[in-house]
Amino acid sequence: MKSKRDLFLWGMIALMFFTSAFIYDLYTMKSYGGNRIFGVSYMTMNNPFYTVIQNELVKVVESRGDRLVLRDPMLDPDKQSEQIEEFIKMKVDGIFINPVDSITIEESLQEAKDAGIPVIVIDCPMDTSKSTTSSIYSDNFEAGVLWAKDLASKFEGGNVALIKHSEVRSGRDRIEGFLYEITNYPQFKVVNEAECFGQTELAMPAVLSMMEETPDIDFIMCLNDPSAMGAIAALQYLNRDDIRVYGVDGTPDFKEQLTRSSSAEATVMQMPYDMAKIASEQMYRALQKDKIEPVTVIPVKLLDRSNLDVKALREWQ
């Protein structure tokens, strides 16, 4: 029969074993991503493009045993700055950010960097920022160039209106790309423009106002598909099926309009799945202190009726 001393010793050995195993489990979970918390703030969740990216990020993060905390600034740059500061106080392991206004949030991002928190920027160039770890975005300038080239290849000329979101770098780049390329085709003239923050419900009244001011518009170039949907709704209200609308994103809703509405002319496809995949990879590489790409530019492609896959209308590319 074992003595009480022997039983005590065996008990201590067992306790040390289980304690060591528990500590090892905690270490390996942290090393491979377990128990980490990330913060993410998009300029707005009232945009299906960001919903897709968010869902993909959640899949990746949760597959590693980690957690993603979502905040929506609702297009308010000051609120987004507050959200970044909240993430810092939470001591998150990393921040994914889609800026409302890259200039306004720079100070908060610098605080995150000072706290040792990597920042991955999604869908917006912040190449000149010294406080971000990596930026992943579409070739937005090229999207505008593709608009102009497609316009010139299909039509002899006409009056163009612009629906913009000038506070956001990605939106500005699309419009600038178009204006740069369209100078090669003087038969097209920009006759009006309006801001809409990329929102359907703001684009519709903006287009109605522009049509009152300049009823001879032939084409409307919209910074994204949600604003293009607002433009199409306005034209349907006015019974103006002679005006052609361009967008950017490749949303299922706009793809469907390509099969239904003569107003929908083309969109430039973004790749939200690729964007989410690269963003998550860069974040985990940053946490492992591996080499990462400071900038990743994702190519874009024009989509119209000629290359539309009618069997995949409700799918993102």
| Tokens encoding 263 | 């107003």
Q: What is the pTM of this model?
A: 0.86
**Across all residues in the chain, what is the average pLDDT?**
90
Q: Write out pLDDT tens, residues 51-78.
A: 999 999 999 999 999 999 999 999 999 9
Nearest-angstrom CA–CA distance, 187 and 192: 16
**The predicted structure's pLDDT at residue 317:** 82
Residue 306 pLDDT greater than 80, yes or no: yes
Instruction: Give percent of the chain with pLDDT exceeding 70.
Output: 89
SS3 content of the chain, % helix, strand, coil (to 5): 50, 20, 35
The string of pLDDT tens digits covering residues 152-202 is 999 999 999 999 999 889 999 999 999 999 999 999 999 999 999 999 999
For residue 315, what pLDDT is reported?
A: 85
Sign of the C-alpha dihedral computed for residues 234, 236, 242 and 243 taken in this order? positive
Query: Is it the case that residue 231 has pLDDT exceeding 80?
Result: yes
What is the arrangement of strands in the sheet containing 244-249, beginning at the earlier edge strand? 188-195, 158-164, 219-222, 244-249, 264-269, 301-303
Task: Note the pLDDT tens digit of each residue in 78-108.
Answer: 999 999 999 999 999 999 999 999 889 999 9
Are the beta carbons of 236 and 261 closer than 8 angstroms? yes
pLDDT of residue 129: 82
Tokens of 56: 């993909």
pLDDT of residue 149: 98
Residue 128 pLDDT class (50, 70, 90 cuts): confident
